[in-house]
């Protein structure tokens, strides 16, 4: 079946604009994760869902970041009033359980100018 997909693949935003990044997990995967990957760094945890419940959002860097998964499938990461430091690749991953193998999407490369 299809793997994890993300859209858009690339996004250029002017500073101050709002952006929305979409993640389509593997069908049946209850766990969904968002990570931020800066250039030359490892993925850093942002937030985690089990079905529609957001169980951990400790990694969100500020209240400008908001994530949702209203029906327990597709998830959206929204960043309000984007800043230059938000420029990064945003990766989504899904798995059957919190401690299961995580399958990553291709990422969305966000550039804030």
Partner 1 sequence: GENVEQHPSTLSVQEGDSAVIKCTYSDSASNYFPWYKQELGKRPQLIIDIRSNVGEKKDQRIAVTLNKTAKHFSLHITETQPEDSAVYFCAASGNTPLVFGKGTRLSVIA
Among 26, 50, 56, 64, binds partner 1 (CB under 8 A): 56
Among 2, 27, 39, 42, binds partner 1 (CB under 8 A): 42
How far apart (Å, rounded) are the C-alpha atoms in residues 85 and 65?
13
Q: Does 50 bind partner 1 (CB under 8 A)?
A: no
Q: Does 33 bind partner 1 (CB under 8 A)?
A: yes
**Could you say which DSSP state residue 65 is in?**
E
Minimum CB separation of residue 9 from partner 1 in Å reads 10
Q: Does 40 bind partner 1 (CB under 8 A)?
A: yes
Query: DSSP for 1-51?
Result: ----EEE-SEEEE-TT--EEEEEE--TT--EEEEEEE-TTS--EEEEEEET
Minimum CB separation of residue 14 from partner 1 in Å reads 24
Among 102, 108, 110, 112, binds partner 1 (CB under 8 A): 102
How far apart (Å, rounded) are the C-alpha atoms in residues 13 and 82?
7
> For partner 1, which is the closer residue by CB, 1 or 42?
42
Minimum CB separation of residue 12 from partner 1 in Å reads 17
Distance of CA 99 to the CA centre of its chain: 18
Q: Does 105 bind partner 1 (CB under 8 A)?
A: yes
DSSP-based three-state secondary structure for 58:
coil
């Amino acid at each position: 079946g299809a793997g994890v997909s993300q859209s858009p693949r690339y996004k250029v935003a002017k500073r101050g604009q709002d952006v929305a990044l979409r993640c389509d997990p593997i069908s049946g995967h209850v766990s969904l994760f968002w990570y931020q990957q800066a250039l030359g760094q490892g993925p850093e945890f942002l937030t985690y869902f089990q079905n529609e419940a957001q169980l951990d959002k400790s990694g969100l860097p500020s209240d400008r970041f908001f994530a949702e998964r209203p029906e327990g499938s597709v998830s959206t990461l929204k960043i309000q009033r984007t800043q230059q430091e938000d420029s990064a690749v945003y990766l989504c991953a899904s798995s059957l359980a919190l401690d299961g193998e995580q399958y990553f999407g291709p990422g969305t490369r966000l550039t804030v100018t």
